[in-house]
Amino acid sequence: MGWLDERIKALSSFSGSLLGYVGSSGKVTNLASKLGIEPSRILKLDSNENFFIDRDFLSSLLAKVVSDVDLRLYDPGGISDLREALGRYVGVRSECVTLSSGSEQLIDLIARLFLGDGDEVVSVVPSFFMYRRRVELEGAGFVEVPLNGDLSLDIDAILESVNSRTRIVFVCSPNNPTGNQFSWDDIKAIAEGSSALVVLDEAYAEFGDYSAAPLAVEERNVVAVRTFSKAFGLAGLRFGYAVSNPELASVLSEIVPYTISSVVSMFVLELLNHVDVVRKCVEIVRAERRRLVDGLRVLDGFDVFDSKANFVAFRPCGEADVVYDGLLRKGVLVKNLGDLPVIGHCLRSTVGLPYMNDRFLDALS
């Protein structure tokens, strides 16, 4: 077997391991077929999507942008305007902003730029599983540091795991799947206690108590990665950005200068002009999240984690697979997280619209 065949085989194994992650729509279709109902009747609460942003509102903005944009042209001016707008939104200078077609593309880009054979990455667990996948593709080692029992960061253990081969430390805050948010003081302690690049994944920051992105620019080795898939409801559009000190941001931006289309850049810019609509929806998500947590805690047999994201993780006292399968039979699709370090075998549900959460709680009870 030649090197190309070996590489294809390795990549096929990698892509196969992601089927459960990227195949959510297929799960809906298959489940609906098994239950003999229309797919629209499946309650899809497994992917942390934001149902609170009005679909017609987004569609009307997109239609306006499509009618205005000349698709034959590159649009560097629009990208510059977008960086300015994002800088105002986050509270940083525009030269601290890097644009991307999604936060996962940024994570992939950072891994490709800063990792090689023999390098190492440190990440807390449990956390977002895609970090390990990206690191392994680059041939680097992946070192796991469990969270404390109260789900806080074990700063001493993280710093003890960092060595001369460590290039990146991943921290997701609010953390997926636990939902808790870490303090900036802890993240800063990691950055100042090591020479590694600290990649702070803030996919769910708008639902939390604060964003560390404005503080990241003050550190030489911190980059905050953000997305519009969650709070802004654009999971189907794919747009993300990073915030870091100007020198690092310049490198990231110049390596891949054209990562988003003119339609996406103009649409995101238009949406930022209506950011008050998004902020109101985020407040409603927070209120509904509180109601969902309270509703889960009323039920017997579940340990429920507090959340600063748009999802809630919970641990059945009995067999989690039995609970998951029981929900499937009622047409409710949540995320089966499996048996994870520190927190055990948990399930995770998106914070849906009120009627969705009511139906989910009814099915669960």
Out of 1.10.1840.10, 3.40.640.10, 3.10.129.10, 3.40.50.1980, select the CATH number for domain 70-273. 3.40.640.10
Domain boundaries, the chain: 17-54+277-364, 70-273
Report the pLDDT averaged over residues 12-30. 62
- pLDDT band (50, 70, 90) for residue 22: very low
Query: What proportion of the chain, given as a percentage, has pLDDT over 90?
Result: 82
pLDDT tens, position by position, 46-55: 999 999 999 9
Can you tell me the distance from the alpha carbon of 127 to that of 219, in angstroms, rounded to the nearest whole number? 23
Can you tell me the distance from the alpha carbon of 55 to that of 57, in angstroms, rounded to the nearest whole number? 5
Q: Give the per-residue pLDDT at 224.
A: 98
Write out the H or E segment, with its range, that includes residue 121.
strand 120-125
Instruction: Name 122's bridge partners.
Output: 143, 169
Least confident of 13-27, 151-165, 300-314, 326-340: 13-27
Strands 302-304 and 311-316 come out as antiparallel
For 67, residues 6+ apart whose C-beta sits below 8 A from its C-beta are none
- pLDDT band (50, 70, 90) for residue 1: low
Q: Give the per-residue pLDDT at 19.
A: 46
Please choose, from the candidates 178, 128, 125, the residue with its C-alpha nearest in 3D space to the C-alpha of residue 303. 178
pLDDT tens, position by position, 303-320: 999 999 999 999 999 999
Residue 134 has pLDDT above 90, yes or no: yes
The residue type found at 188 is K
CATH number of the domain at 17-54+277-364, please? 3.90.1150.10
Contact 138/112 with Cβ under 8 angstroms?
yes
Q: Give the per-residue pLDDT at 196.
A: 97
Q: Give the per-residue pLDDT at 38.
A: 84
Name residue, tokens 């609509």: 277
Per-chain mean pLDDT for the chain: 92
Residue 280 has pLDDT above 90, yes or no: yes
- How distant, in Å, are the alpha carbons of 36, 146, 173 from that of 176? 33, 14, 8
Contact 86/272 with Cβ under 8 angstroms?
yes
**Residue 29 is encoded by which pair of tokens?**
């279709």
Crossing angle (nearest 10°) for helices 262-272 and 76-90 = 30
Instruction: Name 197's bridge partners.
Output: 168
**Residue 223 is encoded by which pair of tokens?**
């980059």
Q: Give the per-residue pLDDT at 40.
A: 81
Residue 17 has pLDDT above 60, yes or no: no
Report the pLDDT averaged over residues 318-331. 95
Instruction: Name 243's bridge partners.
Output: 97, 224
Can you tell me the distance from the alpha carbon of 33 to that of 44, in angstroms, rounded to the nearest whole number? 15
Can you tell me the distance from the alpha carbon of 266 to that of 302, in angstroms, rounded to the nearest whole number? 45
**Residue 304 is encoded by which pair of tokens?**
């429920």
Can you tell me the distance from the alpha carbon of 253 to that of 108, in angstroms, rounded to the nearest whole number? 14
Q: Give the per-residue pLDDT at 205.
A: 98
**Residue 346 is encoded by which pair of tokens?**
């948990």
Q: Give the per-residue pLDDT at 23.
A: 53
Strands 43-44 and 240-244 come out as unpaired
Residue 153 has pLDDT above 50, yes or no: yes
Q: What are phi and psi of 142, to 5 degrees?
A: -120, 115
More confident: 201 or 257: 201
Residue 37 has pLDDT above 60, yes or no: yes
Least confident of 3-12, 112-121, 137-146: 3-12
Report the pLDDT averaged over residues 261-280. 96
Q: Give the per-residue pLDDT at 77.
A: 72
Contact 37/338 with Cβ under 8 angstroms?
no
Residue 354 has pLDDT above 80, yes or no: yes
Can you tell me the distance from the alpha carbon of 176 to that of 184, in angstroms, rounded to the nearest whole number? 17
pLDDT tens, position by position, 183-240: 999 999 999 999 999 999 999 999 999 999 999 999 999 999 999 999 999 999 999 9
- pLDDT band (50, 70, 90) for residue 364: very high
The residue type found at 237 is L
Crossing angle (nearest 10°) for helices 246-255 and 103-114 = 100
**pTM of the predicted structure, to 2 decimals:** 0.92
Instruction: Name 241's bridge partners.
Output: 99, 226
Verify cis geometry, omega within 30 degrees of 0, for the bond prior to 174.
yes
- pLDDT band (50, 70, 90) for residue 28: confident
